[in-house]
Amino acid sequence: MNTVAESLSLSPEFSGEARRVPLIPLVDPLSAAPEVKQILDEAQAFFAMEWPPAVLLAMAHDWGYLADYWLALKGIFADGALDRFTKEVMAFAASVTAGSPYGTDFHLREMRRLGASERAVIEALEVTQLFNGFTKIADTLRLTPDFNPRP
Amino acid sequence: MEIVRIPEVGEFSADEQKFMEGMKDWFRIDFVPKMSRVMRVHKDFGKGYGRATRRAMADGALSRKQKEMIAATVSAVNVCEY
């Protein structure tokens, strides 16, 4: 999502950042085909938004792709071995790391909506910052792994 | 292959070695990771970064497990094999 959102210059959904002009037209959910609108409505409800996410409106020109992508997206964010909250924390960290204003804004709002305290947000930022440092140090020095990832 | 020499534990001061022993307990491993050793080549940097990491990774509003998931996510996004 981050890649599409930033490359298309989509405005963050929640932060009130100055609006950007998308590089492609977004589908208007009010005039979308019924099968498209059904998915957009579901996504809007899933994320408890007042309007479907812009990144999905950008993908909604191709119903088949949108349907498959949404199936994947809601599946990976559903409660499973990891709960949805933890997955949103991970998505927030990924968005910060990728430097995506759209993704950071989106997943920060989701974290908060799902119950994150401000302390939790700060802790997530701390770990994200630290490990962005660790990974850059490791790559710069070409450190070879010394952990067994499957103990 | 590393572009710098990674010091052995025995090359550090007694205080540094004590901290590194704590690192082994923290990760429940029987060796001191390369990252821990190389970062303590510069004592102040290693000490500050190490303490910040211990503090940040402890259970808090987020669990340590969740924080390790964040660390894994960041590592994956940055395609960091280490």
d(CA A24, CA B36): 47
* Partners of residue A142 in chain B, C-beta under 8 Å: 1-3
d(CA A61, CA B55): 47
Q: How many residues does chain B have?
A: 82
Cβ pair A139, A109 in contact under 8 A = no
| Residue of B56, B76, B77 with shortest CB distance to A130 | B56
Cβ separation A146–B67 shorter than 8 A: no
CATH code at position A96: 1.20.1290.10
- Whole-model pTM: value is 0.90
Q: Is residue A150 part of a domain?
A: no
Angle at A107 between CA B49 and CA A100, to 5 degrees: 70
The structural domain count of chain A equals: 1
Q: What is the pLDDT of residues A104-146, one digit of tens each?
A: 999 999 999 999 999 999 999 999 999 999 999 999 999 999 8
pLDDT, tens digit, for every residue of A22-47?
Answer: 999 999 999 999 999 999 999 999 99
Q: How far is CA B32 from CA A11, A38, A114, A151, B28, in A?
A: 45, 54, 38, 16, 10
* Domain ranges within chain B, ordered by starting residue: 9-77
- Asked if B29 and A147 come within 8 Å (Cβ–Cβ), the reply is yes
Does A72 reside within a domain? Answer: yes
Q: Identify the domain containing residue A16 by its residue range.
A: 2-140
pLDDT in tens, B18-64: 888 888 888 888 999 999 999 999 989 998 999 999 999 999 999 99
Check residue A29 and give left, alpha or beta (phi > 0: left; psi -120 to 50: alpha).
alpha
Residue A56 forms part of a structural domain? yes
Rounded to whole angstroms, the Cα distance separating A141 from B75 reads 15
User: What value of ipTM does the predicted structure carry?
Assistant: 0.91
Contact A89, A111 (CB under 8 A): yes
